[in-house]
Amino acid sequence: DTGVSQDPRHKITKRGQNVTFRCDPISEHNRLYWYRQTLGQGPEFLTYFQNEAQLEKSRLLSDRFSAERPKGSFSTLEIQRTEQGDSAMYLCASSFGGHFYEQYFGPGTRLTVT
């Protein structure tokens, strides 16, 4: 198993454009999480899925953000009408189960909005 993968690793976009990121979790992990990390800060929770169900969303996830996990495997995070404040590292993590299971993080997608 190669771990959690994210694509692309870097994305530069102009303000107002839409972007989509993909996360492939470790196979058979039923939980998938998205976090956002801005420069000099720790990661902040955005949302999480158990299988294909999106069970929790942070207040940080404005209506311009949408996440999906259609078949309970990979997930996509879309940002519509990007703003400069969206520039950050977007991290994906997966875990096998709930409380006692470690969240494994991917390398992240760095978004720069110009």
Partner 1 sequence: AQSVTQLDSQVPVFEEAPVELRCNYSSSVSVYLFWYVQYPNQGLQLLLKYLSGSTLVESINGFEAEFNKSQTSFHLRKPSVHISDTAEYFCAVRPRETSGSRLTFGEGTQLTVNP
Residue 33 touching partner 1 (CB under 8 A): yes
3-class DSSP state of 84: helix
Residue 48 touching partner 1 (CB under 8 A): yes
Which residues does residue 75 pair with via DSSP β-bridges, in sequence order? 23
| Smallest distance from partner 1 to CB 105, Å | 4
Among the listed residues 30, 45, 27, the one whose alpha carbon sits nearest the alpha carbon of residue 92: 45
Residue 72 touching partner 1 (CB under 8 A): no
Distances (CA, A) of 65 to 1, 47, 85: 30, 10, 13
Residue 99 touching partner 1 (CB under 8 A): yes
Q: Which residues bind partner 1 (CB under 8 A)?
A: 4, 31, 33, 35, 40-45, 48, 55-56, 58, 91, 93, 95, 98-100, 102-108
